[in-house]
Structure 1
């Protein structure tokens, strides 16, 4: 059995290495292209390593387009959505997990059913509402519609239900209020789940293209995902600069994942153990 287990483990390890390499190939090609001249990009057969790295491509993207403004907009929008979503989702999850009121479970199932509605279906009504409120080309219009989602409420509710109620009962005996229990007991014990939701939300919103594309028309309000299209002209695309901008654009997602990595696996493992 030990020999079979070792063979199985090594086989799984080799399979995971192969899958990891296959997934990393596009990122390596993106980085390689960002260091090439425009002529080298179209060479055939393609070369994985440029003859002379052109690091100046990373300096040029800041002068060709207002890329710094695009990054700032993405940081503001993604960060604000993440913080507000954590606040709203944790409050809602606390109500569904800890408070007893008539129709709680039915209301939660109804709220959860909204996950089956594609975002493209609600996009037009959301845009009409944002347009009527004159919130197009504003941070409010970019942030507000993305704050409320059922996924975060479901994720946190399942985690809150795994926390023993003994902590809550002890706090009530000491005269603690509902908000005190939520802020001083539930939230500190839910750091893994909150970190997991924060990473998922930030990465998704950082890479969000469709909603900013609909709401934003001013160049000063564009996010990174829309700003990358600025390197595509009517008669051609500067692929080396586009890939350099894409490399910089993907770094915040990687940093967010590395920061929350130690909580990510724990949060996914513990969430959903109790229905």
Structure 2
């Protein structure tokens, strides 16, 4: 038995994580755990990768489906506006974390917001996200804002978060209206769900993809099943509206909605 350990500096970026989780912890969160059959879209994406310059991003596909599902159920992205009003956005802005590689080879998660994701074609979202991972990290707006906020003491940062969240327009411009976290990209083939609070009224966490035998066309066949967590602010969203949104999202995913757009840009 050894008491040895390795001493390392506290990463300053973790201060922002602590700030966000502190704010999110005040939310009365509701969770829905679902399984989605993604056999058909995964096969189609594999087929398209060799035909589309730059490839096809699975995260872009998830973003497209989430944008369309929220557009069909806009109340899930409503937020408080003052004490007795709600702001229900017209556009769906999906935020997600993209991993970018620094010159030293380390990866850095950077927030990217796909604006108006409920109206963009899959081809447009795929091209945007492919381009986003190639941007210069040093001059990226999200990275610049992060550096500016980190220079502030914790109490001042909390005031900044309060100022951003109290106005629906500022909130949308900074965070988007809903969020997507694809942690399944780092997981093995096993059922796995993520449970995390959120500062937005609706978030989706993508877990592991695993094989399961299921009925398809009247026969028992192996299927690729994806674990999905739907996270909502229960102060704003009740169970039935949340379930209807989750069902729409799952349906879009399962039928491969929008994938052919990447070849010819058709809506």
TM-score calculated relative to the size of structure 1: 0.24
Query: Which is richer in helix?
Result: 1
Highest Rg: 1 or 2?
Answer: 1
